[in-house]
Structure 1
Amino acid sequence: MTDPRTMTKHVSKLLAFASLAVLMLITVALAPMFAQAQQVPQSQEQISLSFAPLVRQASPAVVNVYTAKVTTSRATTMEQLLYGVPAQGTVQNSLGSGVIVASDGVIITNNHVIQGADTFRVVLSDRREYEAELLLADARTDLAVLKIDTGTEQLPTLPFADSRGVQVGDLVLAIGNPFGVGQTVTNGIISATARTDVGVSDYSFFLQTDAAVNPGNSGGALINTKGELVGVNTAIYSRTGGSVGIGFAIPSEMVKRVVDAAVNGGTFVRPWLGLAAQAVSFDIAKTQGLSRPVGVIVTEVYPEGPAAKAGLRRGDLVTAIDDREVFDEKGLKFLAAVRKPGELAKLSVLRGGKSQTISVRVQPPPGATEADVVLLSDASIFNGARVIELSPRLAEENGLDPFSKGSGIYVHSVTRGTISRNYFQPGDIIRAVNGKPTKTVKDLQAVLSKSGRSWEIEIERNGRTVKGTVKT
């Protein structure tokens, strides 16, 4: 008979061998994973890994944009009389980049690349050149849309990425023409999203990247590893003028909105919520029961505006729009502006400690636009002033406060050589004339038609109220 103690020893040995065998199998299975992270490339295929196929696919859709502006320098009257010196024209050239977003020749670039130019020229990656037509220029978003005519030829394009899904750490490539040296590709990662404190445009909501971006890259492409357009490179932070690894791109969701507007009517209308807001500080967050500062506090609601109609109130705390967190008013405005007029924006609101969702149908801001500017030509001190009635739309177009207390007439510009230049400046708000409030241009014209040679004027200039009497 076998001794039970001997059997126990054999079983223990078998278990020990089995455990050792399992451990060895696990080690063999996991060894390649650890070796892959630590070893040098083991094959020609691993050595040749490259972004080259991606660049070959994307770079033909990135172009150079050349602009020219003719400035005239006139000789003095004495030089003309004594020497017959004629007026001379000087051509100022500038360079930027652009991205083909439609195969029929539609190109997106930065507004600051083409601003003030008289002519536009686009050079493709294969060095062919075309004169370009300006379809739309929008300074508020710093985007512009050009169009070239290539006949029936279909050009290579970059498809739009969904920039809402971009995450910090994503690999990206920047393609453009820095310093005019020729098409250049740099790579990096997304360093941050939703940057709103850059100050480049009024609708700041930038993607930040450490891919090298330099002067001349403006208007160029920032693409992901699928070859999709994530954003348009637009600005850098630098004390030297060169890249220090902090570049900013306009997200593709805004780019797409501007392109759609350019090819479908030529006007980019920014949707409007009809509210003003301020960022939530740490102290405010604590009083609202929040664990961290997030969202904006509604400080003003425009009467009969979209927010008012949806039921938003002063004091509401908006934490997100369309499930995307907001941290300041610029972010809120951007997320509203990427929607088309008439669409619903879903706002996450904290009111009285309770969370709720309020849907706001965004609309264009109401009121007069720059197309409604009136030139005053009567025999008064206002002769030569171009004026327009204050409105939310005018405020949006000119960066004014749509909630400015009171009403008035906005001085859009003043004509050189006219009497109005002695008394008014662009940006002045005429509140009253001869004691009568001026709410509309008709109100102002009616007062002027009955005035003699003395005008008692109340205006707002640079946020200060100025009153005085002018006699002629």
Structure 2
Amino acid sequence: MRVIAALFLCFSLLLSGPVLAENNNSDIEMLARSAKAFAAVVKKAAPAVVHVRVEKTVQGQQGGPQGPNPFDFFNDPFFERFFGPQFRHPQPRQRKFKQQAAGSGFIISSDGYILTNNHVVQDADNITVRMADKQEFKARIIGTDPQSDVALIKIDGENLPVLPLGDSDRLEVGEWVIAIGSPFELSQTVTVGVVSAKGRSGIGLNDYENFIQTDAAINPGNSGGPLLNIYGEAVGINTAIFSRSGGYMGIGFAIPINMAKAIEKQLQKSGKVIRGWLGVVIQDVNEDLAKSFDLKTASGVLISEVTEKSPAAKAGLQQGDVIIALDGKKIKDVAELRNRIALTAPGSEVTLTIVRDGREKSLQVTIGEQPSDFGSIASRGPAGDTVLKDMGLTLQNLNDMLAEQFGYEKGQGILIADVAPDSPADRAGLQPGQLIEEVNKVRVHNIRELKKALKRSRSSKQILLRIRAGEYSQYVVLRAE
């Protein structure tokens, strides 16, 4: 039996040998086809990808590029304190000098319009574009948008190679993508990776962020170059990397091409971007806020304040409304709503789906034009959670003197006079000078009204407050420990 088994095994191996070889050849052929496919995409797209060289004038101390001025040591306040102002060495004469920088871009029209990053061409005196075939052209800026970091430049040419633009909304996490650019001035460098994530915001690079995250290697000089899908279409503008060393660490960010398209149209038409405006102060919804506002899930955007005479006010939006959809498409957070409203043309009418008192409602809103002094709400508004007396707060009614001191109106709310160290309120970030205007959605003007509102509360361990700091207010949920 052992002899028969051995013969059977040998016979099986002899038969499987050609099968294994055939499978291996099939796998290799599949890999070869994939490699050829990537090469074909690059070959088709590369002629439209350009190297952007910039020259700008900067002002610095004499010998600025050569390092710090040695006399700076003697300008230290230490010496002036002991020897008097006459000891201070005269400040060195400022001078202007030329500085060079480089990035990437890609041609989007046969007559020479090129998309790139604003930070590549900002404050440029001269811009030189070098093509893949080594031709060089002088370029001029058509328009820039610092808030999104998109810029449109142009060279004079005809029948230039063009990179088709794709649909970044159709991208899915895990898809292959290809980055082409000029890292460290090495033109036509190609890297391959996947889409690691979509809709990245809060990175702190731009005012309006909706980044595609990729692990395709992106390094300094890639800025402004295209991120391609497997069809050779630009789906993003490579913009930045996350790095602790200054080099590639597996995390790169690209501006979605759909956002860039909308911006490019305005830049080509008027050289600037006019953004839409709703006129609300908003915040993300967490689990506590979701429970307080009778929401099924912790998603959407909570309105903590409505600007007077704004499009939102005219449409009937109110404090405490939660926006859950715009034109039928769900809104998940503040960044998404801000981006979509900003890219909506002023004068357009949109439908907002809100939750008010636990019920869904639709409102028609005519979008306004963003004021010229519009700033980032997130950086100007208050932050943190708060609680009352047993949470480390000392409160005080707002009299004439205090109202004038803190810039409020008498009876506008209840002043936070003190915050106990290491209390829940302290850990939440509350500070003296902030104002309590609502308790559990009830408007309060003094401590007496606040106590009445608390007595009607369903729970003494969790309350909803609206807190004001300066011009802006914000809802916060506070819980006893």
Task: Tell me if TM exceeds 0.5.
Answer: yes
Choose the corresponding residue for 1:117, options 90, 100, 124. 124
Counterparts of residues 301-320 of structure 1 (less than 5 Å): 301-320=306-325
**1:287 lines up with 2:292 in the alignment:** yes
Structure 1 segments unaligned to the other structure (5+ residues): 1-34, 77-85, 366-391, 404-431, 433-462, 466-472
1:129 partner letter: E
> How far apart, CA to CA, are the structure 2 residues paired with 1:399 and 1:149?
42
Choose the corresponding residue for 1:393, options 372, 385, 394. 372
Q: Tell me the percent identity.
A: 40
Aligned residues of 1:202 and 1:330 also touching (Cα < 8 A) = no
Q: C-alpha deviations, 1:58-83, integer Å up to 9, x for none? A: 1111111111013466769xxxxxxx
**1:127 lines up with 2:120 in the alignment:** no
Equivalent position of 2:184 in the other structure: 179
> How far apart, CA to CA, are the structure 2 residues paired with 1:73 and 1:303?
45
Equivalent position of 1:7 in the other structure: none
Aligned residues of 1:253 and 1:338 also touching (Cα < 8 A) = no
> How far apart, CA to CA, are the structure 1 residues paired with 2:116 and 2:290?
40
> How far apart, CA to CA, are the structure 2 residues paired with 1:184 and 1:87?
39
Task: Indicate the RMSD between aligned Cα atoms, in angstroms.
Answer: 3.2
Equivalent position of 1:272 in the other structure: 277
Aligned residues of 1:62 and 1:100 also touching (Cα < 8 A) = yes
> How far apart, CA to CA, are the structure 2 residues paired with 1:55 and 1:190?
18
Choose the corresponding residue for 2:44, options 45, 57, 61. 57
Choose the corresponding residue for 1:47, options 18, 29, 32. 32
Q: Cα–Cα, structure 1 residues 286 and 93, in superposed 2: closer, same or farther, change >3 Å? A: same
Once the two structures are overlaid, the 10-residue window that deviates more, 326-335 or 101-110, is: 326-335
**1:90 lines up with 2:69 in the alignment:** no
> How far apart, CA to CA, are the structure 1 residues paired with 2:378 and 2:145?
13
TM-score, scaled relative to structure 1: 0.65
Q: C-alpha deviations, 1:314-339, integer Å up to 9, x for none? A: 11111233444434323211111222
Equivalent position of 1:101 in the other structure: 108
Counterparts of residues 5-404 of structure 1 (less than 5 Å): 39=24, 41=26, 44=29, 47-50=32-35, 51-71=38-58, 90-150=97-157, 153-365=158-370, 392-396=371-375
Once the two structures are TM-superposed, the CA of residue 226 in structure 1 deviates from its matched residue by 1.8
> How far apart, CA to CA, are the structure 1 residues paired with 2:223 and 2:130?
15
Q: Cα–Cα, structure 1 residues 237 and 74, in superposed 2: closer, same or farther, change >3 Å? A: closer
Aligned residues of 2:281 and 2:377 also touching (Cα < 8 A) = no
Aligned residues of 2:325 and 2:331 also touching (Cα < 8 A) = yes
2:195 partner letter: I
> How far apart, CA to CA, are the structure 2 residues paired with 1:185 and 1:323?
39
Secondary structure of the residue aligned to 2:235 is strand
Secondary structure of the residue aligned to 1:393 is coil
Q: Cα–Cα, structure 1 residues 171 and 289, in superposed 2: closer, same or farther, change >3 Å? A: farther
Aligned residues of 2:304 and 2:319 also touching (Cα < 8 A) = yes
Once the two structures are TM-superposed, the CA of residue 216 in structure 1 deviates from its matched residue by 0.6
Secondary structure of the residue aligned to 2:309 is coil
Equivalent position of 2:478 in the other structure: none
Aligned residues of 1:396 and 1:402 also touching (Cα < 8 A) = no
Aligned residues of 1:296 and 1:329 also touching (Cα < 8 A) = yes
Aligned residues of 1:232 and 1:251 also touching (Cα < 8 A) = yes
Q: Cα–Cα, structure 1 residues 93 and 57, in superposed 2: closer, same or farther, change >3 Å? A: same
> How far apart, CA to CA, are the structure 2 residues paired with 1:166 and 1:230?
8
Aligned residues of 1:294 and 1:325 also touching (Cα < 8 A) = no
Q: C-alpha deviations, 1:29-60, integer Å up to 9, x for none? A: xxxxxx99x85535757524320111111111
Q: Cα–Cα, structure 1 residues 395 and 163, in superposed 2: closer, same or farther, change >3 Å? A: same
Once the two structures are TM-superposed, the CA of residue 264 in structure 1 deviates from its matched residue by 1.1
Once the two structures are TM-superposed, the CA of residue 239 in structure 1 deviates from its matched residue by 0.3
2:339 partner letter: F
Q: C-alpha deviations, 1:375-410, integer Å up to 9, x for none? A: xxxxxxxxxxxxxxxxx431249998699xxxxxxx
Once the two structures are TM-superposed, the CA of residue 464 in structure 1 deviates from its matched residue by 8.6
Aligned residues of 2:178 and 2:190 also touching (Cα < 8 A) = yes
Q: C-alpha deviations, 1:107-140, integer Å up to 9, x for none? A: 1111111122211111111111111111111111
Q: C-alpha deviations, 1:240-281, integer Å up to 9, x for none? A: 111111111111122112211122122210111111100101
Q: C-alpha deviations, 1:293-318, integer Å up to 9, x for none? A: 21110111122222222222111111
Which 4+ residue blocks in structure 1 deviate beyond 4 angstroms?
42-46, 72-76, 86-89, 396-403
TM-score, scaled relative to structure 2: 0.64
Q: Cα–Cα, structure 1 residues 165 and 309, in superposed 2: closer, same or farther, change >3 Å? A: farther
Once the two structures are TM-superposed, the CA of residue 362 in structure 1 deviates from its matched residue by 1.9
1:91 partner letter: K
Q: Cα–Cα, structure 1 residues 361 and 40, in superposed 2: closer, same or farther, change >3 Å? A: farther
> How far apart, CA to CA, are the structure 1 residues paired with 2:113 and 2:381?
34
Equivalent position of 1:409 in the other structure: none
Equivalent position of 1:81 in the other structure: none
Answer 1 or 2: higher relative contact order, Cα 8 Å, separation at least 6: 2
Aligned residues of 2:105 and 2:115 also touching (Cα < 8 A) = yes
Once the two structures are overlaid, the 10-residue window that deviates more, 42-51 or 325-334, is: 42-51
